[in-house]
Structure 1
């Protein structure tokens, strides 16, 4: 017996006769998603690829639809699409890509490493690296810096220090050389209508295999050195020790895969939030002034102390600025799934086996939830304003049972890192051009976000006076 799912058919974004929507999705997917919502509604169907190889991708743009896919109907949607498979083959089957029993086992073993108490213990690593960056910027005072590059390196150093401890310096050189091209390789394969087997000796496959071998060897070596080290407290050591009666412990391959996923997801996402928070403050002097006054009041001015995890609740306006930056520039602009069975999302039929995506990039700009959505306005994140919106109008960390396990660490790193830099410097936009963007596994800045930095003069806050 055939079961008919209620709802209407999704409108088709047809594109061109030759490639359908493929050119738009490859060249400027963020604009394509926004245009599709504006012209055709909250659930649409992109038809992409040449004749005979064409496939449909359902895109869901409403907060209600995102909540269905990620939370209330999460069991009906899996990470089985081609993009997740390419990531699996490049960096392994860690928390980002694993499913079913493997995912639940990994989550149970790893979750104790991300409690608030444990994460707050990493605050010193964050502030030390932020202070080192502030000192390094002294050589560039009065000139412009590229926030995209600077925050990428800062976030990578922080996650490297948290993961690897003393192995940070040698490890980061390998990571910077191998991980970005492996991500690009996976993305290109994910978008290709025809994918040659990775075992074929094409130049791209051979280069990717060499990069993967080097990255795997690095992680395997670090993990091996952590075995039996009772003194170390970095995250890799804690992963090695992770064990419970039900799940046992992580084997060597699983340890490597978790480390690689933490590297992949742990630095790009935070770097994006930091870069664009500073970019927006540099272009909005009044909001920057308010943040600076709040930071000075809490920390004691430029001669004051470094922030701690306990200070986060005392920095509400800075947190509002960060959330608004994450609304406008979500680190994961698109989240993919595959439908298990025929279903209905936001009143639209979605067939079994359909590839589907939800898009924080579009939902965060949806005029039903965000008046004048392109305007930078941290006041959108007062407690009252947040309570008035649907839960999934803002979801930069995903949601439901697969919400990002590291979201508290990302917020800690972002708030404390911003506090240190704003305590030390004033920021002024070097140009008014928008930063060109693309969508890969994470949001991609295709150009610099330049701003001029000026060291703030030393001052004595009343809080520091005897």
Structure 2
């Protein structure tokens, strides 16, 4: 009886050991020439990265040790981290990979197989459907929304300026959520009036869990459904999915009502309603039954996340950088005074945003140092020849964009915040894949122009009304990688009325 019990207990462990040994042995036949840190049996290098807060420092330490591409193992699964621009280009321009940026099933439970997580023919079909929603003529119509929501944000921040030091991220996140709902989804949710937004909280929870799972063999195993983390994820998923379903239902009701009456969609004042991203999906679903309700929800979940959270962190880090560099803030403000010389109080136009050249350089430098998505992933679908060796099917490739953009091999004094890096003269001769904050190649960010205009409109509105100052006492940001770069201890600044 005791023997049977011992066999029942030990059999899974023995199976795990055998599986680990043969899988690592298989991959090492191909990867043995690539440097990497010493790994432990069964867990690999997973114990080196216990949290999302330690992830980037540990990975950067590996890079400093090897000064080139390197590999790590999470359990028996190898990850090849690419740090050189030429190697990022090699991966980004090819179509031999399935994209899975957060590496785990968590992303699919949340986003399904939307534009961010799908691959192959489905990705190409959906990209083709969605592309018209980001035509420059449509983007120009969104400027009004950027301005109106920025006005609400400025009003909130003026009230907060009386309190001294504040964490600016929650205010920016609620603003970008309002913007994406009104522009891309065609519905208003008034998130800026909800100081305790459950949606924003739950998105942050899902991102953190996804990254924790990607670097933990235990959390990626069959044991995960029995953990408290899984229960926490399920609760967050319900909130996020219910939120997006309500957004879809609101717009669909208006869309079907207008279609039944055979009229152009219009608002309460009789003005032609903007054609939203969600309208494009609803229109297409009427002509192609294979584009289902689930496909619509997956794409909406994807754009709700990408359109609010990534932009929110990008704006937040750029504002704190400006607050810490008064000479840069002065130049930005002088440029805005020139752009709005005819009327300092008028709203920004499409042309105004195009003329904000120095502000754009500031944003680009912030995106370099505070890389919005530090890691981009691919899973190889078939063996690939690379640098004189074979990369085997099943290998996970991680494009370490944060490292590439903060490496002294490409950027002199990379820790120094210098917007001048992105003027025409200094950009000459730089490898085109040394700076890829919106990815690159066929799978580049479809909303990058949208995001840049939104960032310019929001930041210019803030800076025309408020002076940004560093917190007292000084506050050192604790960067963490939750799939999207965040600060674990907030982003604190002080605000002063102009």
TM range (shorter): 0.7 to 0.9
Aligned residues: 445
| Counterpart residue number, 1:224 | 249
Structure 1 residues 365, 215: closer, same or farther in 2, change over 3 A?
Answer: closer
| Counterpart residue number, 1:45 | 71
Separation in 1, partners of 2:303, 2:228: 28
What's the Cα RMSD here?
A: 2.7
What secondary structure, in the 3-state scheme, does the structure 2 residue paired with 1:369 have? Answer: coil
Moved over 6 A (4+): 5-8
Tell me by how many angstroms 1:41 deviates: 2.7
| Counterpart residue number, 1:426 | 467
| Counterpart residue number, 1:146 | 167
Separation in 1, partners of 2:85, 2:79: 18
Note if 1:215 corresponds to 2:240: yes
| Counterpart residue number, 2:487 | 445
Tell me by how many angstroms 1:114 deviates: 0.9
Q: Matches of residues 65-80 of structure 1 in structure 2 within 5 Å?
A: 65-71=87-93, 74-79=94-99
Structure 1 residues 387, 138: closer, same or farther in 2, change over 3 A?
Answer: same
Structure 1 residues 126, 22: closer, same or farther in 2, change over 3 A?
Answer: same
Note if 1:137 corresponds to 2:157: yes
The 8 Å contact of residues 147 and 347 in structure 2, kept in 1 or not, is answered as yes
Deviations 1:204-248 (A, max 9, x none): 434433443443344334323424143143432333123697x66
The answer to which of 368-377 and 211-220 deviates more is: 211-220
Separation in 1, partners of 2:155, 2:247: 29
Query: TM-score normalised to the size of structure 2?
Result: 0.82
| Counterpart residue number, 1:250 | 291
In our comparison, the structure showing a higher alpha carbon Rg is 2
Structure 1 residues 198, 251: closer, same or farther in 2, change over 3 A?
Answer: farther
| Counterpart residue number, 2:4 | none
| Counterpart residue number, 2:261 | none
Tell me by how many angstroms 1:306 deviates: 1.8
Query: TM-score normalised to the size of structure 1?
Result: 0.87
Separation in 2, partners of 1:291, 1:362: 28
| Counterpart residue number, 1:181 | 205
Tell me by how many angstroms 1:138 deviates: 1.9
Note if 1:35 corresponds to 2:61: yes
What secondary structure, in the 3-state scheme, does the structure 1 residue paired with 2:394 have? Answer: coil
The 8 Å contact of residues 268 and 331 in structure 1, kept in 2 or not, is answered as no
The 8 Å contact of residues 125 and 161 in structure 1, kept in 2 or not, is answered as yes
What secondary structure, in the 3-state scheme, does the structure 2 residue paired with 1:411 have? Answer: helix
| Counterpart residue number, 1:413 | 454
Tell me by how many angstroms 1:8 deviates: 8.1
The 8 Å contact of residues 282 and 451 in structure 1, kept in 2 or not, is answered as yes
| Counterpart residue number, 1:239 | 281
Deviations 1:353-404 (A, max 9, x none): 2111011110001212100111000000002222320001100011111101
Structure 1 residues 204, 29: closer, same or farther in 2, change over 3 A?
Answer: closer
Separation in 2, partners of 1:340, 1:155: 36
Tell me by how many angstroms 1:192 deviates: 2.4
The 8 Å contact of residues 6 and 344 in structure 1, kept in 2 or not, is answered as no
